[in-house]
């Protein structure tokens, strides 16, 4: 059993991870979250098995936590529009990450942190980890800088870390994210209410959609890999399959028994990414990670989960 800190552990991806760590693995799990886009409701199923601290992730170094084996640093603002609305988030995200790495340096903890497929903006798929990144906005600058900080702390202090470049993650516990939720959840919520989903552009843009349970599996496999021979690296967390927004709407209509067509608007974003498609070769080789949930299977579980909340 290990002592594990999860920053952003009440958020979307973080809470899915915490559930798995607490329920299946029996680890001593501490959640650190300021509840900006997280919710205590996300942790309801395991709240008696974990410790929850309401604080920003930058406060980790000020807390009296000892013998921390692993830090999952997922408490990083995770949507490009957040940074457009407040560019100061770039500095906050970077400084928080430095605080996490400083804590890890002093406590000899290992770090697994959330990065993003948004770093591949402007690059032709399939997207590989060895591509030269072209920073396209505030959000990608913050994430790329955190990746560089991870490398720096390994070079200077031998702090072990793995960065996971999440592609388009959908799944349970997205409600608190609201307008920042994945497009799958936004389309699902609108169709369930009988509303017309809005698509910017022609709907042929694609994303590599990956189910949250697979992302959790990638995180745990990364943690296990750090016990052997992976000490500072970056990995895609993807399926290697791309799906258009039009196909998502069609699939959701089929599941829900509805027939609501999207409303199309001109896309106002100049540097919009038309396609994402992750090369998963590296994660398969070094982490032993390969996705298990097809889009159909993931949507089926998500819709069953949404229906269960009514009961």
Q: pLDDT for 94-127, tens place per residue? A: 999 999 999 999 999 999 999 999 999 999 999 9
Distances (CA, A) of 28 to 2, 23, 46, 66, 295: 6, 11, 12, 12, 32
Higher pLDDT, 76 or 268: 76
pTM: 0.95
pLDDT reported for residue 100: 97
User: For position 294, what pLDDT does the model report?
Assistant: 98
- The pLDDT tens digits for 260-280 are 999 999 988 877 889 999 999
Q: Is the pLDDT of residue 311 over 70?
A: no
Per-residue pLDDT, 25: 67
What pLDDT score was predicted for residue 310?
57
Q: What is the pLDDT of residue 110?
A: 97
Give the separation between CA 219 and CA 112, rounded to whole angstroms.
7
State how far the alpha carbon of 216 is from the alpha carbons of 63, 82, 201, 221, in Å.
26, 24, 32, 9
The 10s digit of each residue's pLDDT in 40-67 is 999 999 999 999 999 999 899 889 899 9
Domains and CATH numbers, the chain: 3-170+209-239+278-293 (3.40.50.720), 175-206+241-275+303-308 (3.90.25.10)
pLDDT of residue 62: 87
- Per-residue pLDDT at 91: 96
Checking if the pLDDT of 209 tops 60, the result is yes
Mean pLDDT of 169-195: 95
Average pLDDT over residues 199-221: 97
212 pLDDT above the threshold of 70: yes
- pLDDT of 296 higher than 70: yes
Query: DSSP labels for the chain?
Result: --EEEEETTTSHHHHHHHHHIIIII--EEEEEE--SS--GGGGGGGGGGSEEEES-GGGGGGS---S--EEEE--S---HHHHHH-TTHHHHHHHHHHHHHHHHHHHT-EEEEEEEGGGGTTSPSSB-TTSPP---SHHHHHHHHHHHHHHHHHHHH---EEEEEE-EEE-SS-GGGGGGS-HHHHHHHHHHTTPPPEEESSS--EE-EEEHHHHHHHHHHHHHHTTTT--EEEEEE--S--EEHHHHHHHHHHHHT---PPEEE----TT------B--HHHHHHT-------HHHHHHHHHHHHHHTT-
- pLDDT, residue 80, reads 87
């Amino acid at each position: 059993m290990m002592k594990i800190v999860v920053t952003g552990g009440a958020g979307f991806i973080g809470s899915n991870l915490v559930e798995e760590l607490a329920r299946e693995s029996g680890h001593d799990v501490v959640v650190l979250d300021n509840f900006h886009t997280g919710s205590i409701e996300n942790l309801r199923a395991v709240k008696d098995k974990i410790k929850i601290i309401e604080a920003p992730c930058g406060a980790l170094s000020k807390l009296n936590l000892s013998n921390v084996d692993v830090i999952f640093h997922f408490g990083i603002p995770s949507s490009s529009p957040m940074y457009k609305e407040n560019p100061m988030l770039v500095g906050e995200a970077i400084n928080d990450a430095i605080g996490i790495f400083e804590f890890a340096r002093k406590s000899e903890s290992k770090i697994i942190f959330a990065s993003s497929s948004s770093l591949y903006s402007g690059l032709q798929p399939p997207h590989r980890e060895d591509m030269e990144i072209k920073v396209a906005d505030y959000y990608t600058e913050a994430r790329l800088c955190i990746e560089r900080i991870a490398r720096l702390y390994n070079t200077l202090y031998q702090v072990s870390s793995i960065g996971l470049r999440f592609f388009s993650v959908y799944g349970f516990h997205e409600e608190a994210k609201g307008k920042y939720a994945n497009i799958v959840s936004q389309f699902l919520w609108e169709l369930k209410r009988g509303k017309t989903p809005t698509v910017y552009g022609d709907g042929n843009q694609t994303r590599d959609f990956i189910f949250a349970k697979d992302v959790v599996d990638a995180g745990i496999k990364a943690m296990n890999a750090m016990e052997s021979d992976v000490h500072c690296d970056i990995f895609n967390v993807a399926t290697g399959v791309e799906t258009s927004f039009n196909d998502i709407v069609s699939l959701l209509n089929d599941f829900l028994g509805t027939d609501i067509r999207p409303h199309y608007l001109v896309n106002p974003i100049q540097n919009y990414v038309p396609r994402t498609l992750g090369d998963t070769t590296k994660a398969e080789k070094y982490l032993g990670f390969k996705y298990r949930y097809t889009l159909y299977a993931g949507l089926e579980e998500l819709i069953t989960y949404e229906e269960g909340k009514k009961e």
